[in-house]
Amino acid sequence: MEINEQFVWDRLSNEKLPIVLYGMGNGADKILDLCNHYCIKVNDIFASDEYVRGHTFRGYKVLKYSDILNKYDNCIVLLTFACFRADMLEKIEQINSRFEVLAPEVPLFDVDIFTPKTFNDNKDKIEKVYSLLADEQSRFTYTNLLNYRMSGKYQYLHQCSTDRAEIFEDIIKLGANEDYVDLGAFNGDTIDEFLLLTQSQYSTITAFEPAEKNFKKLAEKVENLNLKNVNLVNKAAFDSSKNAYISEKGGRNPFLSENGHLIQTACVDDVCRKASYIKFDVEGAEAEALLGCKNLIKKYAPSLLVSAYHKTNDFFELPLKILELNENYQIYMRHQPYIPAWETSVIAVK
Question: What distance in Å separates the CA atoms of residue 216 and residue 222, rounded to the nearest whole number?
Answer: 10
Query: Residue 125 pLDDT > 90, yes or no?
Result: yes
- Least confident span in 88-97, 244-253, 296-305: 244-253
Q: What does the pLDDT look like over 293-323, one tens digit per residue?
A: 999 999 999 999 999 999 999 999 999 999 9
Q: Is 171-307 assigned to CATH 3.30.420.10?
A: no
Q: For residue 211, list its beta bridge partners.
A: none
Q: What does the pLDDT look like over 185-210, one tens digit per residue?
A: 999 999 999 999 999 999 999 999 99
CATH 3.40.50.150 maps onto the chain at 171-307
Q: Give the 3-state DSSP-derived string for the chain, with helices as H, strands as E and coil as C.
A: CCCCCCCHHHHHHCCCCCEEEECCCHHHHHHHHHHHHCCCCCCEEEECHHHCCCCEECCEEEEEHHHHHHHCCCCEEEECCCECCHHHHHHHHHHHCCCEEECCCCCCCCCCCCCHHHHHHCHHHHHHHHHHECCHHHHHHHHHHHHHHHHCCCHHHHHHECCHHHHHHHCCCCCCCCEEEEECCCCCHHHHHHHHHHCCCCCEEEEECCCHHHHHHHHHHHHHCCCCCEEEECCEECCCCCEEEEECCCCCCCEEECCCEEEEEECHHHCCCCCCEEEECCCCCHHHHHHCCHHHHHHHCCEEEEECCCCCCHHHHHHHHHHHHCCCCEEEEEECCCECCCCEEEEEEC
Query: Residue 272 pLDDT > 70, yes or no?
Result: yes
Q: What does the pLDDT look like over 168-181, one tens digit per residue?
A: 999 999 999 999 99
CATH 3.40.50.720 maps onto the chain at 1-104
What confidence tier does 259 reach under pLDDT thresholds 50, 70, 90?
A: low
Query: Residue 324 pLDDT > 80, yes or no?
Result: yes
- CATH number for the domain whose boundaries are 1-104: 3.40.50.720
What confidence tier does 255 reach under pLDDT thresholds 50, 70, 90?
A: low
Q: What does the pLDDT look like over 5-49, one tens digit per residue?
A: 999 999 999 999 999 999 998 999 999 999 999 999 999 999 988
